[in-house]
A and B are shown apart, each in its own frame.
Chain A
Amino acid sequence: MAALQGIKRRIRSVTSTRQITKAMQLVAASKLRRAQEAATGPQAYIEAAREVLVRLSGHAETQRHPLYQVRPVKQALAIVIAGDRGMAGAYNSNIFKALGRHLHEVNVPHQAICIGRHATLHVARASDIDELAAYHIDSGDADTALAQPVLQEALDLFRRGEVDAVYLVSTRFHSTIKQEASVRQLLPLTGRTDEPQTDRELEPSAEELLDVATTRLLEAEVLQAILEARASEQAARMMAMMNATDNAKELIEDLTLTYNDARQAAITQELAEISGGAEAISQSGNGA
């Protein structure tokens, strides 16, 4: 009897766990839809800004522009984007694995700007990277408000020569089932053309235009990375919770089967005892 009650208790507990994971799965799914939509927003802008830059970069001013200066990398900055919360499968740990590989490859002292609570926690524990600033990712919908200070800080460090390269460590969103942790170089900028465009009018000056266009592009790229990271996190959470729900369902089925087996065994045993007892009584009656 004690065994039966134990199984029953486990079924109840797994059932309530399944309700929770199912709810989290649904919440993540609805958040994912919105996040996915938002992540497509800056794409056209980024593409156009890149083209503008390529056309501008033929100008001699580009050669002198500070954000295009390639220096030997002695100090680097990593902008690490992870989630504020766990329960998203391997989402956070994939980012940190990519970061670890990158640190190993580049092998220079790194500082980090962390976006997302888990990024902050990880960097605080890691010995090979110093934390510089930390931001929370879920603190509202004001994404540009989040991208701007991050980029400003990165630009300042690079301009002052305190870091020689800036990397963006984040998750790229391909689809609901495919996300990929990636490391990209943000600064110094590369990809200029060498064919000068002379037939184009520039106002007010190539230098100023280059300045505005590069900051705008970088801002859009950081924003895009944040939006994609957000969509990826929700997708990862949805998949993780879906698996958890499926596992719970299987577990409940198994437990129910065991419970029924045990119950049947108990009933059979009881019947055997009763009929055995009845037999004994009738036999003793006959004997008298």
Chain B
Amino acid sequence: MHFELLTLTGARFQGQIAEVSLRTATGEIGVLPHHEPLTTLVAAGPVTVRPMNGGQPELFAVFGGLLEINADNTARLLADEAEHADDLVESEIQTAIAMARELKAKAKDKHALQRAEELIDRHEVRLEVAHLKRRHRSR
């Protein structure tokens, strides 16, 4: 099936795939070729793309988006942003989380608190994907 991962800065993945798995409000779903037409909200979390030729799966972190599967065996994921797992460095994310927690502790108003919480959620997704990457490698 043809899959595209589109973000506001351009396409991050385009090509034939064997499977894509991602997280929705109701749980993890895996999309195989010839899936029924479906439009669904995608929750923040990892997106794993298994290419057709059996190569290494590609791992991305997304922070919410929209998945559309069409009858012509194509699927598109619209995400504001997507980060490739290769660009995620665990130690950096750990520091970022620590900094975000500090921000949250220091937050003076509701707005700042909300921002800090968003930041923490975001970094936790990134951390999860970084962990997942390590597991893929060690396997």
Contacts from A to B (Cβ < 8 Å): 38, 40-42, 44-45, 48-49, 51-52, 55-56, 144, 197, 199-204, 208-209, 212-213, 216, 219-220, 223
A38 to B7, CA, bound (A): 12
Q: Shortest distance in angstroms between B119's beta carbon and chain A's nearest beta carbon?
A: 13
Interface segment among B37-45, B100-108, B131-139: the answer is B37-45
Given contacts A144-B8, A203-B24, A212-B66, contact A52 B39 (CB under 8 A): yes
Is B37's CB under 8 angstroms from A200's CB?
Answer: yes
Given contacts A45-B78, A203-B24, A213-B66, contact A208 B8 (CB under 8 A): no
Is B66's CB under 8 angstroms from A42's CB?
Answer: no
Contacting B38 at CB < 8 Å: which of A41, A44, A56, A203? A203
Q: What chain A residues lie within 8 Å of B41 (beta carbons)?
A: 203-204, 208-209, 212
Is A200's CB under 8 angstroms from B38's CB?
Answer: yes
Q: What chain A residues lie within 8 Å of B8 (beta carbons)?
A: 41-42, 45, 144, 220, 223
Given contacts A201-B37, A202-B40, A203-B25, contact A48 B9 (CB under 8 A): no
Which 3 residue pairs of A and B lie closest in terms of their CB atoms, listed nearest first?
A: A203-B40, A41-B9, A200-B37
> Chain B 31-66 against A: per-residue CB contact (8 Å), 1 yes, 0 no?
000001111110000000000000000000000001
A45 to B10, CA, bound (A): 7
Q: What chain A residues lie within 8 Å of B4 (beta carbons)?
A: 44, 48
Q: Shortest distance in angstroms between A133's beta carbon and chain B's nearest beta carbon?
A: 16
What interface size band does chain B fall in?
20 to 34
User: What DSSP secondary structure best describes chain B's contact surface?
Assistant: strand
Q: What chain B residues lie within 8 Å of A202 (beta carbons)?
A: 38-40
Given contacts A144-B80, A209-B66, contact A203 B6 (CB under 8 A): no
Q: Shortest distance in angstroms between A22's beta carbon and chain B's nearest beta carbon?
A: 32
A201 to B37, CA, bound (A): 6
Q: Shortest distance in angstroms between B3's beta carbon and chain A's nearest beta carbon?
A: 12
Which residue of chain B lies nearest to A220 when distances are taken between CB atoms in the complex? B8
> Chain B 3-24 against A: per-residue CB contact (8 Å), 1 yes, 0 no?
0101111110000000000001
Contacting B9 at CB < 8 Å: which of A42, A199, A216? A42
Contacts from B to A (Cβ < 8 Å): 4, 6-11, 24-26, 36-41, 66, 68, 71, 76, 78, 80
Is A56's CB under 8 angstroms from B39's CB?
Answer: yes
Q: Shortest distance in angstroms between A239's beta carbon and chain B's nearest beta carbon?
A: 27
Q: Shortest distance in angstroms between A90's beta carbon and chain B's nearest beta carbon?
A: 30
Which residue of chain B lies nearest to A203 when distances are taken between CB atoms in the complex? B40
Q: Shortest distance in angstroms between B131's beta carbon and chain A's nearest beta carbon?
A: 27
A208 to B24, CA, bound (A): 13
List 10 A-B residue pairs with CB atoms under 8 Å apart, sorted by A's residue number. A41-B10, A42-B9, A49-B66, A201-B36, A202-B39, A203-B40, A208-B41, A212-B41, A212-B66, A223-B8
A223 to B9, CA, bound (A): 10
Q: Shortest distance in angstroms between A150's beta carbon and chain B's nearest beta carbon?
A: 15
Contacting B10 at CB < 8 Å: which of A40, A51, A201? A40
Which residue of chain A lies nearest to B37 when distances are taken between CB atoms in the complex? A200
Q: What chain A residues lie within 8 Å of B40 (beta carbons)?
A: 201-204, 209
A49 to B67, CA, bound (A): 10
Q: Shortest distance in angstroms between B60's beta carbon and chain A's nearest beta carbon?
A: 15
Q: What chain B residues lie within 8 Å of A144 (beta carbons)?
A: 8, 80
Q: What chain B residues lie within 8 Å of A223 (beta carbons)?
A: 8
A41 to B12, CA, bound (A): 11
A140 to B102, CA, bound (A): 24
Q: Shortest distance in angstroms between B14's beta carbon and chain A's nearest beta carbon?
A: 9
Is B78's CB under 8 angstroms from A52's CB?
Answer: yes
